[in-house]
Amino acid sequence: MPITDLLERNSKLWGSEVALVEIDPEIKEPKRVTWKEYELVQPTQTEFYRREITWSVFDEKANRVANLLISRGIKKGQKCAVLLMNCLEWLPIYFGILKAGAIAVPLNFRYTADEIEYCVKKADADVLFYGPEFIGRVEDIIDHLDKDHLLFFVGDSCPNYADDYYKQVSNCSSVAPKILIEDKDKAAIYYSSGTTGLPKAILHNHRALMQSAQMEAMHHETTKNDVFLCIPPLYHTGAKMHWFGSLYTGSRAVLLKGNTPKAIMDAVSNEGCTIVWLLVPWAQDLLIALDNGEIKLKDYRTSQWRLMHIGAQPVPPSLIRHWLEYFPNHQYDTNYGLSESTGPGCVHLGMENINKVGAIGVPGYGWKTKIVDENGKQVEQGQVGELCVKGPGVMLEYYKDPEATKEVLKGGWLYTGDMAQQDEDGFIFLVDRKKDVIISGGENLYPVQIEAFLSAMPKVHDVAVIGLPDQRLGEIATAIIQVKEGMTCTEDEINQFCIDLPRYKRPKKIIFADVPRNATGKIEKPKLRERYGSERLVEMQNKG
């Protein structure tokens, strides 16, 4: 069953019910509008605080997009890129691409013009849907694209070199095209985060997308009555596949264009959200705002909020302990995954296992795991090795990159590049990225373990641990500490806090600075190594 069948089912069963809500907290004078009202007046998108769309209109819009593409000669298997900020148009365009039998290629909104060009060409995309935020970047590369490339502008004041999406799609039929789509058909190309080089094009089929929808609904016991708050960018598998749980159950979701503590709490309260997925920095910011009294729980309706879950990065146990002080009745889950495994959930903690906070969990629905040594042999329980996963959500390949595919796909197993270990109860703990392991004086140091320890220090807002070159030890553990706003901290305080760490794990160098994270919350360690590695080399040279 292809993922598009779920949208058509929802339209038939719950057509008049709201499927998606978009909220823009930056709007100074809030206005609310339904999709039908929006179509009638065609105003500037940014005028509205709140927009909504029903399941039937969602499906009709997707059909119009599909028929638009077909009318322009797009055939089954061709690729269509999407470069949009989170908005109400995003998902109908995505599903329209799929309904046309084409392959959707979501693009990171942080990409530079060169990166957009690289990804469009890497995927062989023939179509690009893009929003007003990207006009300058698209103009920089338009001369480098094939002259037959189709550009659809999703916004007001359409540039003369592009087609006006709203005008074009409104003239197309809202009846579903007769395109046969099967589970085995290719559905989407997602790009890796690129934290270790140029992003890789990850190809998935419809079966993988459907697996993620079923898995999300099962893991979080999602029902028709739930309301999911979606904050992360939809171009990423994490946000999309978590929303698939709402698609699977026909429940409402809220797209929040902002991640401040107040915006999150307003959305939870006003929209009756029951499930919220946060990244670590957003959860930390919310807790700080509660600690400082910037927001007060008594001002919000939160009794319906049942689940907070986190993914995309290791979660410090101290954060969850702090969270439960304010929300003692919350269910909690951690979701581990990669774009290569159709996003989150191939390993998950499970809402019933909050006593195991710190672990990424156990194999998810339909998945198997193993931990292996450098020779691919399974290690003994408790030993550190590379985590491998196997299941229906494993990618087909890195598109047009057989060598890279061969490196990570072996006998149906996906080698994740993450180092992990399993405890006596079968729970998996993430130790670190294979490439981030620090070898200092012959000892393997795992930055995630040191980061989790340091994050418990009251003055630490965020922390990243990297290896920097050292003449004697080869590498030394270096902690980049981002101190909480309004506080001061010294190296002596950090060193004193680390007394309880084994001596060889204690950071040998402390740097007070901001910790850069990408749009999905992952620490951008290559940037840190590049910046501070060169400084370290100069420092070593000066010492002779």
The beta strands (E) that lie in 12-72 are given as 18-23, 32-34, 50-54
Q: Pairing between strand 150-153 and 125-130? A: parallel
Cα angle, residue 49 at apex, residues 45 and 54 outer, rounded to 5°: 80
Residue 285 lies in a domain: no
Token digits of residue 502: 């084994």
Residues 78-130: tens digit of each pLDDT: 999 999 999 999 999 999 999 999 999 999 898 889 889 999 999 999 999 99
Output the DSSP codes for 166-223.
Answer: HHHHHTS--SPP-----TTSEEEEEE---TTSSPPEEEEEHHHHHHHHHHHHHHTT--
Residue 292 lies in a domain: no
Confidence bin at 45 (pLDDT 50/70/90): very low
Looking at the fold, whether 194 and 162 belong to one and the same domain comes out as yes
Question: What is the average pLDDT value for the chain, to the nearest integer?
Answer: 89
Residue 154 lies in a domain: yes
Looking at the fold, whether 37 and 58 belong to one and the same domain comes out as yes
Looking at the fold, whether 312 and 371 belong to one and the same domain comes out as yes
Confidence bin at 44 (pLDDT 50/70/90): very low
Phi-psi region of 514 (alpha: psi -120 to 50; beta: other; left: phi over 0): beta
Q: Pairing between strand 163-164 and 150-153? A: parallel
What is the rounded CA–CA span in Å between residue 203 and residue 482?
Answer: 37
Residue range(s) defining the domain that contains residue 314: 306-433
**Residue that finishes a domain, picked among 371, 399, 433:** 433
What's the gap between Cα 383 and its chain centre? 29
Supply the CATH number for residue 487's domain: 3.30.300.30
What phi and psi, each to the nearest 5 degrees, are found at residue 147? -65, -20
Confidence bin at 38 (pLDDT 50/70/90): very low
Looking at the fold, whether 40 and 96 belong to one and the same domain comes out as yes
What is the rounded CA–CA span in Å between residue 467 and residue 260?
Answer: 32
Confidence bin at 30 (pLDDT 50/70/90): low
Residue 160 lies in a domain: yes
Looking at the fold, whether 78 and 212 belong to one and the same domain comes out as yes
Average pLDDT over residues 391-403: 95
Q: Pairing between strand 50-54 and 32-34? A: parallel
Looking at the fold, whether 228 and 348 belong to one and the same domain comes out as no
Exposure of 513 in the CB half-sphere (CA atoms within 13 A): 15
Supply the CATH number for residue 357's domain: 2.30.38.10
Tell me which residue of 403, 5, 390 sits closest to 187, measured CA to CA.
Answer: 5
Output the pLDDT for position 43. 39
What is the rounded CA–CA span in Å between residue 413 and residue 390?
Answer: 5
Residue 367 lies in a domain: yes
Residues 422-481: tens digit of each pLDDT: 999 999 998 766 677 787 765 678 788 888 889 889 999 999 998 888 766 778 889 999
Looking at the fold, whether 131 and 250 belong to one and the same domain comes out as yes
Average pLDDT over residues 493-522: 85
In the numeric block, the tokens 């605080």 are attached to 49
Output the pLDDT for position 46. 42
Token digits of residue 362: 């156990």
Cβ partners under 8 Å of residue 242, min gap 6 = 216, 228, 230, 277, 311, 335, 343, 344
Residues 251-284: tens digit of each pLDDT: 999 999 988 999 999 999 999 999 999 888 789 8
Whether the predicted pLDDT of 31 surpasses 60: no
Whether the predicted pLDDT of 211 surpasses 50: yes
Whether the predicted pLDDT of 41 surpasses 70: no
Looking at the fold, whether 481 and 409 belong to one and the same domain comes out as no
Looking at the fold, whether 228 and 166 belong to one and the same domain comes out as yes
Looking at the fold, whether 98 and 35 belong to one and the same domain comes out as yes
CB atoms within 10 A of CB 350: 18
Q: Are 512 and 462 in contact (CB under 8 A)?
A: no
Residue 241 lies in a domain: yes
Residue 526 lies in a domain: yes
Phi-psi region of 77 (alpha: psi -120 to 50; beta: other; left: phi over 0): left
Residues 363-380: tens digit of each pLDDT: 999 999 999 998 999 999
Output the pLDDT for position 42. 41
For the chain, the domain total comes to 3
Residue 474 lies in a domain: yes
The DSSP secondary-structure symbol of 484 reads P
Q: Are 469 and 533 in contact (CB under 8 A)?
A: yes
Token digits of residue 540: 């070593």
Instruction: Return the H-helix or E-strand segment holding 132.
Output: none
Output the pLDDT for position 328. 94
Looking at the fold, whether 379 and 484 belong to one and the same domain comes out as no
Looking at the fold, whether 521 and 491 belong to one and the same domain comes out as yes
Out of 67-76, 183-192, 337-346, 530-539, pick the least confident. 530-539
Output the pLDDT for position 16. 96
